Amino acid sequence: MTDPSANRERRHPAEHSAVNEPHAPGRFPSGSPDSGLSLTRRELLKSGTRGLGLLGFGAATGFLAGRDRKADTLWQINPDRCIQCGRCATACVLEVSAVKCTHSHGMCGYCKLCTGYFEPEPINLDEGAENQLCPTGAIKREFIEDPYYEYSIINELCIGCGKCVKGCNMFGNGSLYLQINHDRCVNCNICAISLECPAQAFVQVPVGQPYLLRGKGTAGK
Amino acid sequence: MSENLPASPPAPVHSGDAGKEMNDGGVSGQDARASVARAFCPDPSLPQTAASPIGSDMPPSPAAGRRSFLRAAMWGGGIAGLGGLAGLAARRLAGGNATNTAAKSALGPEFTYDVARFQTSDPALLRYEESARFPVNLTPPRNLAVAADGTIFVCGTGGIRKFSSTGKPALTIALDQPVVSLALRPNGEILAGQAGKITVMDAAGAVVAVWSDFSAGMLPTSIALTKDWIFVADAGNRVVLKLDASGKQTGNIGARDPARNIRGFVVPSPYFCVRMAPDGLLRVANPGEHQIEAYTLNGDFEMAWGKGSFALAGFCGCCNPVSFDIFPDGSFVTCEKGLPRVKLYNSSGEFTGLVAGPEAFPEYLQAANAGTPDSLGSGIYSVIDPSGRVLVLDVIGGTVRIMQPKERKP
């Protein structure tokens, strides 16, 4: 019979003697003394590491499974969740992101002082570069009639940083918002931006309804 | 140091070599695994026989090997499954957190919308201080009014709630359709503005009449009363409706008419306020022009004041003020969204001080800076009660704040 107290001993295996110990050198009894099973510290560590590895693998797989694109769906941004963090501009696998600002003209107030177009406290309310909010100059401003101006997104210049969206949301009515443009998006199985989006704003939408639009009339896309 | 190396380290045997050896009639794969074990674990106490599985005391029974393999596989599968469930749960939890504002992108500062410098104000400009606040229990509240006796009425989604002047609940009038504006008649009747109609109720909340003969899209965001007339700011059609005492529309005020020097109201979002001033003229906010305009009761434009600016003296953003009220001396209290601030102007429109600066509304600033949906559609409303206090409706906080003058107004 194995001495049960040996279970509680944690001596270094080298201290054990093959002569006066009923177990092989470097081995500790495991389970009941009658089980006949024994486990070395190295085996214990090895098994523990394997178990942890499997647990981590499973956790990662489970986490990613929630983001994996389902069949017949496309990635899109839910504008009501988007917090305009700027990651859409940098996390996309494309060199210039597939995310672009979208403008709902049906919602837009056609404001003379558009907070999505002008820097806070601009020098003048005109199209001078020093007055424009967009670092890439991706918004076009056109006079319609006093005091109304129309704003349009130049998709080729927009990088999807969301700076104008924040200005519009903070002071206006949210007619500017971000969307994935599907003429550019390569629809990765796991969208790289969705992995970085801190607001969980990336959702899967049916292929037949690829955009989540605000308002009635929408331009840009 | 080569001296520290084993004298003749056993050469590791790769699986390819093992296969080659086997094909050549050499050692079996099991022997090869054993030699690997010997190579890396030269401890002579370890099993050295080719017949024993490596690191195991079990006899070399194929059934036992399969059993242990299956057992290990089941354990592994179970652990991985648990991990998977934990991962899915983590994703669910993460999905509910839509307000992680700590996120930073790799973009430079030129890509950041920064109005932090306007989100503070000089405390020396504060002319009022908060003496109390009370919850209104409407989600969300939308507007408020005060009766001649100081009774406070707050409306919003769910109906109308009546409070004493100290904030004690007195009456709840439940209504299905959200109420966006309120006015109180001297006879105790309540006019409740709802999309497309105005509901008239007696003091107990019983419906007396519903006025709904208006243009399509009518949204009555503010109501002002005179002895004979009712003026309704219609944000949907961007005009002020002039109604008689029975609710019949008799005309419009503020429709674009260059011949009368009326440029029209610019109302990009549903904030459009009208008040009756002590001088007998109507005051109407023109938020897109950042001005408060004066009109006669017949609709003639008289004057306007105000300018667009993020500085305290102006009205910020695209469209402010969202609401205002007028003191008996003709001076104004105004409310702005975006940069939440409640300010004071004299009757000529000169900035004289603050009732509450942006710092007084941390939830508004947090929502605006985080870009969460709360930052959209969250106005601030104020009315002046008969004792000169300013009652401020904090929509995000769901409270009415009672602001008391710190000193006699200058």
Question: What confidence score (pLDDT) does residue B87 get?
Answer: 59
Could you tell me where the DSSP H helices lie in A40-102? 41-65, 87-91
In this complex, do A146 and B263 lie within 8 Å of one another by their Cβ atoms?
yes
Q: What are phi and psi of A107, to 5 degrees?
A: -95, -25
Note the pLDDT tens digit of each residue in A7-25. Answer: 444 444 444 444 344 444 4
In this complex, do A90 and B57 lie within 8 Å of one another by their Cβ atoms?
no
Q: Tell me the β-bridge partners of B284.
A: B274, B293
ipTM of the complex: 0.71
Question: What confidence score (pLDDT) does residue A66 get?
Answer: 57
Q: How many CA atoms lie within 13 Å of A89's alpha carbon, on the beta-carbon side?
A: 20
User: Looking at beta carbons, which pairs linking B110-114 to residues 24 or more positions away fall under 8 Å?
Assistant: B110/A135, B111/A86, B111/A89, B111/A135, B111/A161, B111/A163, B112/A86, B112/A163, B113/A84, B113/A120, B113/A133, B113/A163, B113/A166, B113/A167, B113/A170, B114/A120
Q: Which residues of A touch B290 (CB under 8 A)?
A: 113
Element holding B251 (H helix, E strand): strand B249-253
Q: End-to-end CA distance of chain A, in Å? A: 79
Note the pLDDT tens digit of each residue in B117-171. Answer: 999 999 999 999 999 999 999 989 999 999 999 999 999 999 999 999 999 999 9
Question: What confidence score (pLDDT) does residue A123 get?
Answer: 94
Q: Where in chain B is the domain with CATH 2.120.10.30?
A: 119-405
- Look at the block and give the residue holding tokens 């009014």: B145
Are A64 and A190 spatial neighbours (Cβ–Cβ below 8 Å)? yes
Note the pLDDT tens digit of each residue in A158-213. Answer: 999 999 999 999 999 899 999 999 999 999 999 999 999 999 999 999 999 999 99
Q: Considering only CA atoms, which of B173, B143, B145 is closest in space to residue B158?
A: B173
Question: What confidence score (pLDDT) does residue B6 get?
Answer: 37
pLDDT band at A46 (very low <50, low <70, confident <90, very high): confident
Interface test with B, best of A171, A176, A177, A194 (most B CBs within 10 A): A171
Instruction: Kindly list the distances between the CA atom of residue A212 and the CA atoms of A80, A102, A181, A184, B218, in Å, as whole numbers in the listed order.
Output: 10, 10, 11, 16, 27
Each domain of chain A, given as residue ranges in start order, spans: 4-65, 73-206
- Residue A9, Cα to own-chain centre: how many angstroms? 49
A173: left (phi over 0), alpha (psi -120 to 50) or beta: alpha
Look at B61 and A123; give whichever has higher pLDDT. Answer: A123
Q: What distance in Å separates residue A115's CA from the closest CA in chain B?
A: 6
In this complex, do B317 and A115 lie within 8 Å of one another by their Cβ atoms?
yes
pLDDT band at A26 (very low <50, low <70, confident <90, very high): very low
In this complex, do A199 and B99 lie within 8 Å of one another by their Cβ atoms?
yes
Q: Tell me, yes or no, if B97 comes closer than 8 A to chain A by beta carbon.
A: yes
Both tokens of B337, joined, read 């969204």
Interface of B with A in 367-406 (CB under 8 A): 368, 370-373, 375-377
Note the pLDDT tens digit of each residue in A65-112. Answer: 555 556 699 999 999 999 999 999 999 999 999 999 999 999 999 999
In this complex, do A111 and B319 lie within 8 Å of one another by their Cβ atoms?
yes
Instruction: Kindly list the distances between the CA atom of residue B383 and the CA atoms of A47, A211, B77, B286, in Å, as whole numbers in the listed order.
Output: 71, 42, 66, 18
Is A31's pLDDT higher than 50?
A: no
Nearest by CB to A54, from B43, B83, B267: name it.
Answer: B83
Nearest by CB to A170, from B76, B290, B368: name it.
Answer: B368
Q: Tell me the β-bridge partners of B130.
A: B403
Q: Tell me, yes or no, if B337 comes closer than 8 A to chain A by beta carbon.
A: yes
Q: Which residues of A touch B75 (CB under 8 A)?
A: 51
Strands A99-103 and B332-336: unpaired
Q: What distance in Å separates residue A189's CA from the closest CA in chain B?
A: 17
In this complex, do B113 and A84 lie within 8 Å of one another by their Cβ atoms?
yes
Interface of B with A in 17-36 (CB under 8 A): none
Domain spanning B119-405: CATH 2.120.10.30: yes
Interface of B with A in 180-219 (CB under 8 A): none
Question: What confidence score (pLDDT) does residue B78 get?
Answer: 72
Question: What confidence score (pLDDT) does residue A178 get?
Answer: 97
3-state secondary structure of B355: strand
**Predicted TM-score (pTM) above 0.80:** no
In this complex, do A56 and B85 lie within 8 Å of one another by their Cβ atoms?
no
Instruction: Kindly list the distances between the CA atom of residue B203 and the CA atoms of B176, B200, B206, B246, in Å, as whole numbers in the listed order.
Output: 18, 10, 8, 17
Average pLDDT across each block of 10 residues of chain B; the chain has 410 residues. List them in order.
36 37 39 43 42 46 71 73 65 48 72 93 96 95 96 97 97 96 97 98 97 97 97 97 97 95 94 97 97 97 96 95 97 96 97 97 89 75 96 96 79
